[in-house]
């Protein structure tokens, strides 16, 4: 509930000011009418207002929303009553305000999908298109069930992707921290002793001393360089479509990680295409919506070309085969789906296959990361030990007893 500061008028025409908690503006008006007051003006008050403007709607919130709407619509509860119950039971102030706005727009004569279109950052085009298809086909319960299942799948997929990225990032940070410690604190003490021997130093020892001096004298540059590179890349990708396209291609070619990302994109495409097609959306609209879902410029561009080829009269399978992005399995399943009229079933099989492959590949990558990081740390330590102990050993071997 948000707190509103309001100005109202009573039956005698006298101005009445105050503050009151309410779920939204219509709720505030209703509460004031019960007090025989007519609302004139109001504004959100204090921290509650800030939270309502700046809160975040998570995927978990959307899953709960879809599950709740599936249960209520399946039980025959009217849409407005179901949304009102959902609004009153929500903990997230941002989403509670969104649901209140949905109620207000539906009361004004809008369809649920039309009301959702007012909040594109929460309900994307795919979400609202599926709801609109459910409204037209009177299968809104099935649509919300499919949306809930799909959001759960996305949540699991995101969790698996984080497993691939977070572990090497964590271990890499540790390796970097150990390297910085050795270069700034340990190496200078040992190299000071080596220099005092007065002998010619080998190349790898001079390289170690040089790197150590860089860390000591320009530590701020060492720390700032990765940050500046990251910011520069982000700005370049934001301002250049060509750079975004090339970066999307490079992502798919990264050793170990690239094939996993590629299969995640294929699984996402197959899952959403099947879901959209099963809801009665046309193939061209399915492809258009999938262009935004795949989140990769190379694949999205390929889908655009396939959509254009289909618009020009080419078959679905031939159009996808001509763009040379999708592997034979996807093409084969599209061919089967096109021949049998069960495109959604065929693509669900593709999604199932790639989901299984993704899990297996993630497990393999995770099993490889630890030994690779251990080898890298071992090479760094070996270089330091060889550079330090090598000259000491040479000096001792020259001593005549």
pLDDT in the model for residue 172:
76
CA dihedral 373, 379, 381, 386 (to 10 degrees): 180
pLDDT-based confidence at 371, cuts 50/70/90?
Answer: confident
DSSP assignment of 46-75 equals HHHHHHHHH----HHHHHHHHHHHHHHHHT
Q: What is the average pLDDT across 198-224?
A: 82
Spell out the alpha helix ranges (H) of 218-256.
219-239, 241-251
Asked if 322 and 306 count as a contact pair (C-beta separation under 8 A), the reply is yes
Q: What is the average pLDDT across 97-117?
A: 84
pLDDT in the model for residue 48:
44
Q: What is the average pLDDT across 198-208?
A: 77
Q: How many residues does the chain have?
A: 401
Q: Which range has the top average pLDDT, 89-93, 127-131, 179-183? A: 127-131
pLDDT-based confidence at 307, cuts 50/70/90?
Answer: very high
Q: Which range has the top average pLDDT, 190-194, 224-228, 290-294? A: 224-228
Neighbours of 369 (CB within 10 A): 17
Q: How far apart are CA 190 and CA 387, in angstroms?
A: 10
| Residue 73, pLDDT above cutoff 60 | yes
Token pair 């305000």: residue: 97
Q: What is the average pLDDT across 75-85?
A: 85
Higher pLDDT, 49 or 373: 373
pLDDT in the model for residue 201:
75
| Residue 335, pLDDT above cutoff 50 | yes
What is the residue extent of each domain of the chain?
2-53, 58-123, 150-401
Q: What is the average pLDDT across 321-328?
A: 87
Lowest mean pLDDT among 115-129, 159-173, 216-230: 159-173
Beta bridge partners of residue 18, listed in sequence order: 6
Q: How far apart are CA 27 and CA 31, in angstroms?
A: 6
| Residue 238, pLDDT above cutoff 70 | yes
Neighbours of 25 (CB within 10 A): 18
Higher pLDDT, 319 or 44: 319
Asked if 367 and 360 count as a contact pair (C-beta separation under 8 A), the reply is no
pLDDT in the model for residue 233:
92
Nearest to 3 by CA among 20, 24, 18: 20
pLDDT by residue (tens digit) across 243-278? 989 998 898 888 878 888 888 888 888 888 888 888
First-residue to last-residue Cα distance in the chain? 88
- Domain 150-401: state its class: mainly alpha
| Residue 235, pLDDT above cutoff 80 | yes
For the chain, give the percent of residues with pLDDT over 90.
5
DSSP assignment of 329-388 equals HHHHHHHHHHHHT-HHHHHHHHHHHHHHHHHHHHHHHHHHHHHHHHHHHHHHHHHHHHHH
Q: Encoding tokens for residue 192?
A: 């000071």
Q: How far apart are CA 1 and CA 21, in angstroms?
A: 6
Query: For the chain, what is the mean pLDDT?
Result: 82
pLDDT by residue (tens digit) across 170-196? 877 887 788 788 788 877 877 777 767
Lowest mean pLDDT among 4-8, 118-122, 322-326: 4-8
Nearest to 209 by CA among 186, 182, 191: 191
Nearest to 330 by CA among 278, 247, 268, 281: 268
Asked if 121 and 56 count as a contact pair (C-beta separation under 8 A), the reply is no
pLDDT in the model for residue 54:
46
pLDDT in the model for residue 308:
92
pLDDT by residue (tens digit) across 36-66? 788 888 877 654 443 444 457 888 889 999 9
* Full-model pTM: 0.68
pLDDT-based confidence at 305, cuts 50/70/90?
Answer: very high
For residue 127, give the 3-state DSSP assignment.
Answer: helix
Phi and psi based region of residue 280 (left: phi greater than 0; alpha: psi -120 to 50; beta: remaining) = left
Rounded to the nearest 5 percent, the helix, strand and coil shares of the chain are 75, 5, 15
Higher pLDDT, 57 or 284: 284
Asked if 296 and 251 count as a contact pair (C-beta separation under 8 A), the reply is yes
pLDDT in the model for residue 391:
74
Q: Encoding tokens for residue 385?
A: 């030990």
Q: How far is CA 82 from CA 31, 75, 127, 309, 389, in A?
A: 20, 10, 19, 43, 75
Q: How far apart are CA 338 and CA 326, in angstroms?
A: 16
């Amino acid at each position: 509930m948000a707190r509103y500061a309001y100005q109202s008028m009573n039956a005698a025409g006298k101005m009445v000011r105050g503050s009151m908690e309410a779920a939204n503006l219509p709720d505030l008006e209703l509460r004031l009418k019960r007090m025989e007051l007519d609302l004139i003006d109001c504004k959100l008050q204090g921290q509650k207002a800030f939270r309502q403007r700046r809160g975040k709607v998570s995927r978990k919130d959307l899953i709960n929303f879809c599950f709740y709407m599936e249960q209520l619509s399946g039980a025959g509860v009217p849409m407005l009553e179901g949304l009102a119950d959902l609004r009153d039971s929500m903990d997230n102030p941002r989403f509670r305000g969104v649901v209140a706005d949905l109620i207000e727009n539906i009361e004004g004569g809008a369809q649920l999908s039309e009301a959702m279109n007012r909040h594109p950052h929460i309900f994307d085009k795919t979400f609202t298109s599926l709801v609109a298809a459910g409204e037209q086909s009177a299968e809104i319960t099935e649509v919300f069930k499919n949306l809930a299942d799909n959001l759960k799948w996305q949540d699991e997929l995101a969790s698996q992707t984080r497993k691939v990225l977070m572990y090497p990032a964590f271990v890499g940070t540790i390796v970097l921290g150990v390297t910085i410690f050795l270069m700034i604190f340990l190496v200078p003490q040992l190299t000071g002793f080596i220099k005092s021997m007065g002998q010619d130093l080998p190349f790898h020892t001079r390289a170690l001393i040089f790197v150590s001096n860089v860390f000591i004298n320009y530590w701020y540059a060492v720390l700032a360089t990765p940050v500046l590179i990251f910011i520069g890349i982000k700005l370049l990708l934001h301002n250049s479509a060509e750079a975004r396209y090339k970066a999307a291609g490079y992502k798919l070619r990264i050793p170990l990680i690239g094939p996993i990302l590629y299969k995640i994109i294929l699984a996402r495409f197959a899952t959403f295409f099947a879901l959209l097609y099963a809801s009665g959306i046309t193939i061209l609209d399915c492809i258009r919506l999938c262009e935004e879902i795949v989140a990769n410029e190379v694949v999205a561009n390929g889908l655009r070309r396939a959509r254009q080829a289909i618009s020009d009269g080419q078959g679905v399978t031939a159009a996808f085969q001509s763009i040379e992005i999708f592997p034979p399995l996807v093409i084969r399943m599209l061919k089967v789906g096109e021949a049998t009229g069960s495109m959604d079933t065929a693509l669900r099989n593709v999604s199932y296959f790639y989901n299984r492959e993704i899990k297996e590949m993630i497990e393999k990558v995770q099993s490889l990361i630890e030994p690779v990081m251990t080898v890298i740390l071992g090479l760094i330590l070996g270089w330091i030990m060889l550079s330090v102990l090598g000259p000491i050993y040479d000096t001792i071997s020259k001593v005549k007893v």
